[in-house]
């Protein structure tokens, strides 16, 4: 039962990154990121309940609550506040049109399937499927980051990469040591705070957060 739920959730997480790639507006990037984090929290919750019932371990449940607090509530809220305080002229900030971007993402999933199909130890079946899906989320996050010009889009891309790494680690190891999880979370919060601050500064200096304009600084 929990295996079935986990595999469905891993497909939904992959799908949510496709939805993110197909979004046009920064407010919908933040919404999609929030949904993806909620799905990851659900996956952590499923694993947490299982480990609680089987081994009596509480740590994955705590991680699940931390994901909800940080990635579903705090970070999207912070990004929303940054977004509200930044002036925008034009919202369209992607380099290719949406269908092509999304089709390239399909190619990325095929790519990660072919790279992971031959790994020893990842047997056929469920675990392999979850691994391919979550590694694809990393690739799609990276591609999202390079396909968007505005700083906020790139922050979301980084957060998606991080989500992908996190879900890969969680599904592959069935729960990492608690201290590693905490370390990742603290890193993440620091990153988001610094990037938010930098975005504010960029907006002050250039009246825009389009990172293409940073090219003007070259001598």
Q: How many residues bind to another protein according to rule CB under 8 A?
A: 25
- Contact status: 102 vs another protein (CB under 8 A): yes
Longest dimension (CA), the chain: 62
Q: What gap in Å lies between CA 72 and CA 37, rounded to an integer?
A: 6
**Per-residue binding letters, 20-59, with another protein (x by CB under 8 A):** --x-------------------------------------
Q: Does 119 bind another protein (CB under 8 A)?
A: no
Supply 194's token pair.
Answer: 């610094």
Query: What's 74's DSSP letter?
Result: I
Category of 208 on φ-ψ map: left (φ > 0), alpha (ψ -120 to 50) or beta? beta
Sign of the dihedral through C-alpha 213, 24, 78, 45: negative
Exactly one of 118, 124, 205, 216 binds another protein (CB under 8 A); that residue is 124
Candidate list 2, 55, 125, 190; residue touching another protein; CB under 8 A: 125
Q: Give the integer Cα–Cα distance in Å for 121 and 61.
A: 27
User: Which is closer to another protein, CB of 4 or CB of 215?
Assistant: 4
Name which position in 4, 118, 205, 216 contacts another protein (CB under 8 A).
4
The nearest distance, CB 115 to another protein, in angstroms, is 12
Which residues touch 175 (CB under 8 Å, ≥6 apart)?
A: 47, 51, 57, 59, 60, 63
Q: Which stretch binds another protein (CB under 8 A): 50-58, 101-109, 149-157, 205-213?
A: 101-109
Q: Cα–Cα distances in Å, from 216 out to 39, 77, 92, 95, 206?
A: 40, 32, 21, 19, 11
Cβ at position 1, least distance to another protein in Å? 10
Residues lying near another protein in the complex (CB under 8 A) are found at 4, 7-8, 10-11, 14-15, 18, 22, 98-99, 102-103, 105-106, 109-110, 113, 124-126, 128-129, 132-133
């Amino acid at each position: 039962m929990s295996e079935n739920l986990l595999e469905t959730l891993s497909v939904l997480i992959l799908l949510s990154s496709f939805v993110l790639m197909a979004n046009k507006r920064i407010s919908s990037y933040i919404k999609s990121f929030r949904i993806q984090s909620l799905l990851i929290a659900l996956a952590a919750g499923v694993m947490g309940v299982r480990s609680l019932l089987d081994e009596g371990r509480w740590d994955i449940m705590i991680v699940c609550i931390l994901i909800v607090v940080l990635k579903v509530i705090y970070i999207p809220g912070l990004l929303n506040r940054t977004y509200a305080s930044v002036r925008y002229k034009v919202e369209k900030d992607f380099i290719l049109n949406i269908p092509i971007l999304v089709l390239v993402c399909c190619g990325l999933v095929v790519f990660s399937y072919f790279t992971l199909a031959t790994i020893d130890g990842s047997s056929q079946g469920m675990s392999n499927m979850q691994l391919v899906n979550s590694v694809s989320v990393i690739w799609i996050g990276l591609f999202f980051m390079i396909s968007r010009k505005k700083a906020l889009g790139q922050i979301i891309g980084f957060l998606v990469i991080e989500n992908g790494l996190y879900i890969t680690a969680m599904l592959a190891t069935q729960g990492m040591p608690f201290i590693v999880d905490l370390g990742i979370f603290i890193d993440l919060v620091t990153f988001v705070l610094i990037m938010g601050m930098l975005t504010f500064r960029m907006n002050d200096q250039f009246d825009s957060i389009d990172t293409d304009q940073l090219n003007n600084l070259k001598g």
